[in-house]
Structures are given as structure tokens and as C-alpha cells.
Amino acid sequence: MRNKRILITGATGFIGSNLAGYFLKKNANVFIFTRKTSNKWRIKGLLGNVSEHQIDLLDENGLEKAVRKIKPEIIFHTSVYGAYPYQNDAKKIIEVNFTGTINLLNACLKKGFEIFVNTGSSSEYGVKNKPMKESDSLEPLSEYSASKAAAALFCQAVARKKNVTAVTLRLFSPYGYFEEQDRLVPSLILACIKSKNPKLSSPDSPRDFIFIEDVLKAYEKVVDNKDKVKAEIFNIGSGKQHTVGEVADKVIKLTGSKVKPKWGAVPNPRHEPLRWEANIQKAKRILGWKPVCTLQEGLLKDIKWHKERFMEGVVS
């Protein structure tokens, strides 16, 4: 990745900020898109080493000018709206996730690029009764998942029509460094550190948790294999599901805490299936990628990271 020109959208978010830090360490030239309202707490330590551009993906002219100036060879598109319950403006969900993707890809097509990597979501599949495969029908259950499915299909269609490489990585449930504090894993870890009983919804909800280090490696692997992925979509998960109750038990045990979860204290607007697990055979076969962190190993790393930040007073 040395000296490669990498553009990252959504760089102040969980996935985007980790990508920026990861590829800076690989000696890439990293360019990021932020907005005037962006909270930059995740990238404070990176700002002196990246080239920042304030761009709204709905501003087609400004977007085209920025892409023309940057000349990115690799694009990691992680910008998103609607992943959190409070982000429920349906019009904005469609604009950011679908129209924003169209505008970005069109701007990049005019300049040319090596690979465009779109970030998808496992929620595009809807509810299935077996591990989800990339060939499964898409049955989204929300505006958010429908917008992500539309963006993935658009990228695939453009890749086929224009003979360019535009790939989607469908992430399952990533966790790790710089995740939002009110998400499941960080909230559990911080509750244990502070000896406060965590407030949770249901212990039975299943997820396919994938540690951020494995996710970052997947982005790297897809770039390494850019000549053979063209219009592909890949599931990026652990290939194993765990319930929220299992994760809570593990975090409590690994921290040595005595807290007791308050189940049912948080409402869950989602329809919870009995199965939520990725079939990752395609990523293994084509990319040579597979997760290396077990849930326990990932949680231990995440706990250590949060404890250090708590001791430093970064997290209160």
C-alpha cells in the first residue's frame, strides 16, 4: 500500500477511522472526506497525517472537484446514515446511503480508479433460517437495509456495465476500537470497568460478531485481489453466531466484574431472528481471507483498549 492514494468517506465513523489509521501505518497517502458537523474525536491523532476535505456527498460539483484534485486509486466508501435507532429520517437515509453512493461512484468514474470498495450491511439479507450467502435473495426489513441493498446492487451494476472494479463488503457485527460507547460491546465493557449493572434488551438476540482487526484485513485483502473481484460482493463475519447473553457473560468474566445485566431495560425495535450468521466461504476462497480473532481474543483486546483509555481519562 506504500504511496497508494486512498480516499476514505465516513472517516470520522467507526469503520472509516480505523481504516484511516490502518492504512497510514501501511505508508499509504490517505485522503478523508468530512463534513462541517463531523465529530472528529476518533481521528484526532491522525489529522496531521491525512489530507482532509470537507465534502457533502450530495454536493455533486464539490464532490467532482475534490475527486479530480485527489486522484484516488483506492476508494473505501464507509459513509452511512441510519445505523443507529435515532437516525430515522427515511429521506436522509436514502439520500446519504444511496444517492451519496451514486454521486461518489460517478465522480470517481470520471477520474478513473483501481478499486472502489463499498461498505454494505448484513441487514440487506433480512431474516434467514441458515447462514447467509451472497447469492441469497435480499429481503431488507427497514429503510436503512433497503438503502444499503440498493447501493450494493448499484455498485455491482456499474462494475459490470463500465468494466471497472466496484466491490461491496457486507459487514456483519463489527466491534472493537473506537466503536460508539452506547453500542453493545463498549457499553458492556465500560459498565464492567465502572462496576455498574449494564442495561440491555434481550439475552437471546443472535449476532455474528467480527473483530475490527479482521475487518481491516478484509479491506486490505480485497485490494490485494483487485484483479479478480470486479463486481463481487463478500460477506465479512466470523462465520459463527453468538447471543447477546453469551457476549455479556464473556465480558463480565473477562473483566472479573461482579455486575449483573438488567435484561429488558432497553427496548429493542428490531425483529430478532433465531439465526444471524455469515457464510464466509466466498471470501475465504477468492480473497484468501478468514478471521483470526476468536470472540474471546477480540474481547480481550477491546477490554484492554478501553481500560487504557479509561485510566487516561479519555473515557469517563
**pLDDT digit string, tens, across residues 257-306:** 999 999 999 887 666 778 999 999 999 999 999 999 999 999 999 999 99
Q: In this predicted structure, what is the pLDDT of residue 315?
A: 64
Interval 131-167: pLDDT, tens: 999 999 999 999 999 999 999 999 999 999 999 999 9
How large is the average pLDDT for residues 15-41? Answer: 96
Relative orientation angle of helices 244-255 and 295-311, to the nearest 10 degrees: 50
Q: Which domains does the chain have, with CATH numbers?
A: 5-173+211-236 (3.40.50.720), 175-208+240-276+293-311 (3.90.25.10)
Set of cell numbers at residue 279: 457464510
Residue 172 makes CB contacts below 8 A (sequence gap 6+) with: 122, 207, 208, 209, 210, 235, 236, 237, 238, 276, 278
- Check: CB of residue 13 under 8 Å from CB of residue 79: yes
With 70 as the cut, is the pLDDT of residue 316 above it?
A: no
**Amino acid sitting at position 38:** S
Residue 147 makes CB contacts below 8 A (sequence gap 6+) with: 82, 93, 94, 96, 97, 98
With 90 as the cut, is the pLDDT of residue 102 above it?
A: yes
Q: In this predicted structure, what is the pLDDT of residue 216?
A: 98
Question: How many whole angstroms separate alpha carbon 140 and alpha carbon 315?
Answer: 35
- Work out the mean pLDDT of the chain and round it to a whole number: 95
CA 121 from centre of chain:
8
Question: What are the phi and psi torsion angles at 286 (to 5°)?
Answer: -90, -40
Q: In this predicted structure, what is the pLDDT of residue 142?
A: 93
Interval 74-95: pLDDT, tens: 999 999 998 887 888 999 999 9
On the CB side of 254, how many CA atoms lie within 13 Å of its CA?
23
Q: In this predicted structure, what is the pLDDT of residue 309?
A: 92
CA 74 from centre of chain:
17
Q: In this predicted structure, what is the pLDDT of residue 281?
A: 98
- Check: CB of residue 261 under 8 Å from CB of residue 198: yes
Sign of CA dihedral 77, 83, 87, 90: positive
Partner residues linked to 175 by β-bridges: 211
How large is the average pLDDT for residues 204-220? Answer: 97
